[in-house]
Amino acid sequence: MDKDTTTTTFKEALHPLNITKILQEFLGLDRYVKKFTFEKWVALMIFAQIEQIPSGKQLALKLNNKEELQKCLNLSSISASQLSRRSRTIDSDVNQALFTDVVSRMKREIHPRDRLQVMSPIYLVDASIIPLCLSLCRWATYRPKQGKGGLKIHMKVACLPDGTAPEDAVLKPAIHADRTEMNELITEEGALYLFDRGYNDYEAFDRYCDPDINIRFITRVKSNAVFDVIEELPVNPDGPITRHARIRLGGGKKKMKHPLRLIETHDSEGNLIQLITNDKAYETEDLGELYRKRWHIELFFKWAKQHLQIQSFYGTSPNAVYNQIWMALITYCLLRLLQARTGCTQSLFHLLLCVRDNCFKPFQELVKHLHRKPTRTSKGRQRSDPEREFRRFVELVEKEGMESAEALYADIHCG
């Protein structure tokens, strides 16, 4: 019998995880643990992400009542306190290492020809805040004077033709500014980075312009930025770019050594957009279009918050919260790998729904479900186009007269 017919969808989704490697790197991870091992904890937490289980109590109850899950994990039961304790005692660095390993595998298996730029990858960098209760999570400082707590997810994602793929992440309390993580996320030489005004750092910009480092970037200028215009450059009067100039950012001791390109355009609402870049290859119109792709990382954060479990947490300690977020990011990567493995052309959310429905069914059932041909032969209810209907009516009037056209439309809409 073929192996895939006996392997469940859930086990196939977990297949890319190299737990053995993690156990070798972090010795003593399962020391004194007899029942609830690290591997079982990881599988249970990923199941919770797929099913969007909101609390540890509900997750423990789900395990205790679901025989398929017990058989898959070789774990008959667990209590909410055991789950909370295990999540609290596992160092979050362990799951960060597991995330890094899954990302490496994803980069190998998603063929380079599928990347937006093979020779020059494009990365999006941004951060998103997860609100936390400051009275329960004293370590998660955000706005202490207002009594607000929060965690900030700093992300670097690769921009692909069919969406985004995580590359790196940093988790810290929300009080830390975005630009403090630039050295961690913006590292690859020759790559092009897109980020917003929260990452304005003139010293870092000068470093990226160094020919020995050669990191290209596109970002927006802050409204209070000071710069000197070196040269005004010509623009196409019929194009979307209204200004192109060479400038030097900063003033006094903070003035940059290297010049940058300033590009001005307008968004769909007519607001002025000022972009700066050290890229010398792209045309001005292309740079404007490239920066629009920065919104893909906003879509990534929106997708994760809507379809993964990172809004409510099973514990309040730093390890418990960080570990749950690492599990969410790992689950996203596993879904992307499963999407590539199955050849799924539908959205990632569609795949997630199919995985939920076929979680403990044979993996081939999922593949058949994803590639099932639609049984509906009609095109369904079509949206009417008033302008097209009006043009057809005018043609009928000109050709057959007003009375014939009115009679025909009366038959169509009444019959």
Q: Are residues 210 and 281 in the same domain?
A: yes
In a shared domain, residues 267 and 339: no
**What is the pTM assigned to this prediction?**
0.85
Predicted confidence band at 223 (pLDDT cuts at 50, 70, 90)?
A: confident
Residue 134: phi and psi, rounded to 5, are -65, -30
Per residue in 86-95, pLDDT tens? Answer: 999 999 999 9
Tell me, what's the pLDDT at 397?
52
Q: Provide the residue range defining the domain that includes 225.
A: 196-289
396: pLDDT strictly greater than 90: no
In a domain? residue 122: no
In this prediction, residue 140 has a pLDDT band, given cuts at 50, 70 and 90, of very high
- The reply to whether 235 and 273 lie within a common domain is yes
Domain end, chosen from 244, 274, 289, is at 289
Check whether 220 has a pLDDT greater than 80.
yes
- Quote the number of domains for the chain: 2
Q: What is the pLDDT, as a whole number, of residue 244? A: 94
Give tens-digit pLDDT for 326-348: 999 999 999 999 999 999 989 99
Say if 78 falls within a structural domain: yes
Does residue 111 lie within any of the structural domains?
no
Q: What is the pLDDT of residues 9-27, one digit of tens each?
A: 999 999 999 999 999 999 9
With cut-offs at 50, 70 and 90, classify the pLDDT of residue 112. low
3-state SS string for the chain:
CCHHHCCEHHHHHHCCCCHHHHHHHCCCCCCCCCCCCHHHHHHHHHHHHHHCCCCHHHHHHHHHHCHHHHHHHCCCCCCHHHHHHHHHHCCHHHHHHHHHHHHHHHHHHCCHHHCCCCCCCEEEEEEEEEEECCCCCCCCEEEHHHCEEEEEEEEEEEEECCEEEEEEEEEEECCCCHHHHHHHHCCCCCCEEECCHHHCCHHHHHHHHCCCCCCEEEEECCCCCCEEEEEEECCCCCCCCCEEEEEEECCHHHCCCCCEEEEEEECCCCCEEEEEECCCCCCHHHHHHHHHCCHHHHHHHHHHHHHCCCCCCCCCCHHHHHHHHHHHHHHHHHHHHHHHHHCCCCCHHHHHHHHHHCCCCEHHHHHHHHCCCCCCCCCCCCCCCHHHHHHHHHHHHHHHCHHHHHHHHHHHHHC
pLDDT for 33 beyond 50:
yes
Q: Does residue 213 sit in the same domain as residue 261?
A: yes
Q: Is residue 63 part of a domain?
A: yes
Of the pLDDT bands very low, low, confident and very high (cuts 50, 70, 90), residue 238 is: confident
Closest CA to 258 of 233, 280, 291, 275: 280
Query: For residue 246, what pLDDT band results from cuts at 50, 70 and 90?
Result: very high
Confidence of residue 101 (pLDDT cuts 50, 70, 90): very high
- Residue 223 backbone dihedrals phi, psi, to 5 degrees: -65, -30
Q: Are residues 254 and 200 in the same domain?
A: yes
Which pLDDT score is estimated for 171? 96
297, 164 Cβ separation under 8 angstroms: yes
Looking at 238, 255, 289, which one is the last position of a domain? 289
242-267 mean pLDDT: 91
Distance CA 247, CA 229 (A): 4
Name, in order, each residue with C-beta under 8 angstroms of 64's C-beta and a sequence gap of 6 or more: 77, 78
236 lies in a domain? Answer: yes
Is the domain of 205 the same as that of 282?
yes
Among 289, 304, 328, residue at a domain's last position: 289
Mean pLDDT of 206-235: 91
Residues 28 and 76 in one domain: yes
Q: pLDDT band at 168, cuts 50/70/90?
A: very high
Q: Are residues 250 and 331 in the same domain?
A: no
* Judgement on whether residues 333 and 282 belong to the same structural domain of the protein: no
| Residue 263 sits in the same domain as residue 218 | yes
Percent of the chain with pLDDT over 90: 64
User: Same structural domain for residues 334 and 262?
Assistant: no
Asked whether residue 269 is assigned to any structural domain, the reply reads yes
**Does the structure show a pLDDT above 70 at 265?**
yes
User: Is 412 part of any domain?
Assistant: no
Residue 301 lies in a domain: no
The pLDDT value recorded for residue 293 is 87
Judgement on whether residues 200 and 285 belong to the same structural domain of the protein? yes
What is the average per-residue pLDDT within 59-79? 94
